[in-house]
Structure 1
């Protein structure tokens, strides 16, 4: 999407304020919503990092609800009101663009945490951290073996003195190859995040992605792990 000429870049996102979903009218923190931006030609594009210049419109519904809103013309109407123009061009693959952008933002976040030294890979390192109660979040590739994932979750429960709780790792909707590329490491099957703030940063990205895909379980599981 091209930037409007002579347009100043938008201010940094104020994460203490709330935004209203243009489809439901409900208010949420920006981290729970997805921003849509409009180019000079009226084309709508995802702005999941909320950094595109100009005005934006916010949505807080999942993919199925958004597809229905598009089919009924509700999204175009809401965008027209938000941007105060009828020249709205919604691409046919908007849903695919959104899902891809949310996935990439989450993987980019994990990559940044890897470079910042706030996460571990490798079962032995993660298990040691878990038993020391140094683990803030546990993640698994979609093709991780159940035995390995369960073993690490058990170590986490023991180390954090929560053996009676349903404390378990989160299975990501991306396989080990995708995680390996994102982190720049080989054969990433499990990820242990050892910094609480890093876990919160990852959880915000991940929960938003999973919500859009239509899961109700994921957001609560993330919040529980970093509480």
Structure 2
């Protein structure tokens, strides 16, 4: 299937293995009609067999449609037929099939995209693991983004958050690590390491790449991260690029 001219699949400045830069061009959610940055929305693609499937990386060939809703909203739209009507207009065909478990497929695809991105950053040497190492790097100003597993202890999170604020000259601010919508078991399996409870990224560009799939997953689960953190990561990534 060909790719429509008005539906680019990636940034022209993206390198091999890179995710598109945070922000990018805008797209309109076919369910709400609201326009948002491309990186904040999820692309749905139409397979050759007419099945509507999630395209979490926004790279599948063919015509795409974009949504920016929570899982609950998507479940409702599937049940009442609103999604099918919206997609029929977007794809310009009524010959499409929406899987009954589409919301579950979307969540699985978003989780996989996020975990794969973390894996790529780890292989690139950008991921910091282990509470002691994270705390040291954070105090030295070597942490661009900090994350905690969903089942991480409050005490462990609090100590690392404080170390990050100290190293970032942000004491007294509300800067805290992202509480991920995945537990330590999921993170450990995905990264091939034991007991991954906390993790951090050393490079602003790396943090910007991870922020895209994480933001999509958080939006879908209705679990937004700490206010302002994602934008701070994006701004830091942009400043880093400008200084190269």
TM-score, L = length of structure 1: 0.91
**Superimposed CA distance per residue, residues 44-96 of structure 1 (whole angstroms, 9 cap, x where no aligned partner):** 11011111111111111111221222222111011111111111211000000
Q: What is the deviation of 1:40?
A: 2.4
C-alpha distance in 1 between matches for 2:93 and 2:180: 39
In the alignment, structure 1 residue 184 sits paired with structure 2 residue 192: yes
Decide whether the 8 Å contact of 1:207 with 1:219 is kept in 2. Answer: no
Which residue of the partner structure matches residue 171 of structure 1? Answer: 179
- The CA RMSD over aligned residues, in Å, is 1.8
Decide whether the 8 Å contact of 1:138 with 1:191 is kept in 2. Answer: yes
Which residue of the partner structure matches residue 113 of structure 1? Answer: 121
Which residue of the partner structure matches residue 13 of structure 1? Answer: 10
Decide whether the 8 Å contact of 2:150 with 2:183 is kept in 1. Answer: yes
Listed as ranges, the gaps of 5+ residues in structure 1 are 1-6
Question: Which range moves more in the overlay, 77-86 or 140-149?
Answer: 140-149
Listed as ranges, the gaps of 5+ residues in structure 2 are 12-19, 236-244
Question: Which range moves more in the overlay, 137-146 or 15-24?
Answer: 15-24
C-alpha distance in 2 between matches for 1:166 and 1:226: 17
Q: What is the deviation of 1:225?
A: 4.6
In the alignment, structure 1 residue 98 sits paired with structure 2 residue 117: no
C-alpha distance in 1 between matches for 2:151 and 2:37: 33
In the alignment, structure 1 residue 52 sits paired with structure 2 residue 60: yes
C-alpha distance in 2 between matches for 1:17 and 1:225: 18
Alignment of 1:72-87 (within 5 A): 72-87=80-95
Aligned residues: 221
TM-score, L = length of structure 2: 0.85
Decide whether the 8 Å contact of 2:40 with 2:212 is kept in 1. Answer: yes
Q: Secondary structure at the match of 2:100?
A: coil
C-alpha distance in 2 between matches for 1:41 and 1:92: 16
**Superimposed CA distance per residue, residues 123-164 of structure 1 (whole angstroms, 9 cap, x where no aligned partner):** 111111111111111111122122111111111111112111
Decide whether the 8 Å contact of 1:136 with 1:226 is kept in 2. Answer: no
Decide whether the 8 Å contact of 2:141 with 2:168 is kept in 1. Answer: yes
